[in-house]
Amino acid sequence: MDAMFQSGLFFDSNTINTYDLSRNNPMVKVEGGDILVIRDNILLVGNGSRTSSQGIDLLVQEFCKTDTDKKHVIVQQLPESPESFIHLDMVFTMLDSNTAMVYKPLIMGSSPYQTVHIQIENGKVVKISSATGILSLLKKLGIEIDPVVCGGKADDWDQEREQWHSGANFLAIAPGKVISYARNIHTLEELSKNGFEIVAARDIINDNYNLETSKRCVITIEGSELPRGGGGPRCMTMPLRRS
């Protein structure tokens, strides 16, 4: 994978190879499901079983080298178990430029898990502080997010059940156009209430739905074995850039 990015044939970008930079330090762990680029200068990172504090330190160190502009790294602590909290994108994913799918108990409720704000200026970390949550911190940084609740607002059990089945894990293929599992019916109902049209993937494949002319929509895919493996649409892709 590193060779593909570095070859220059497909991508014009720099890469961060944590394996090489850490000299194969087993304490340095970073996985893509914990990394969300909210804006060019705002990085949202999950800190849990798959991305360690040492891995985040390395990311911050490399982020400092990119330029001298002000930058922000928001670190959200995650539960170590159960497996449904394996990555940040299992509790928070962007649906549109100002809309996100959230697992309410962790992102919006009173939680023992910390949110940390790391501020970078002129290539150096200038301040590290605690925050009251991802949404309030993003609002302070000029990004007001409308949250859509995974599992719907009515029942805590629906929220927990559908989060377990990757109900908060969405892949945005364009702003406001996302892919999700069809099985999470309460999450889809909540999306419909928030202006998203629900369309089956087979209708797009059979040319019964035009994505180009649509506005907000959720493309649903059937999945029984895939969720059992512990991943959603974003987990099974490599999002490179969100326009």
Residues with active-site annotation: 235
Rounded to an integer, what distance in angstroms lies between the CA atom of residue 159 and that of residue 165? 10
Beta-carbon count within 10 A of 33 CB: 20
Cα dihedral 90→95→101→107 (10° resolution): 80
CA distance to 49, 56, 155, 169, 223, per residue, from 80 (Å): 5, 16, 24, 18, 25
- Report d(CA 155, CA 76) in Å as an integer: 25
Residue 172 neighbours by CB distance under 10 Å: 21
Residue 46 β-bridge partners: 76
Q: Which of 95, 118, 236, 108 is nearest to 177 (CA)?
A: 95
> What CA–CA distance (Å, rounded) separates 84 from 99?
22
The number of helices, as runs of H, and strands, as runs of E, in the chain is 9, 12
What's the rounded Cα separation, in Å, for the pair 175 and 63? 25
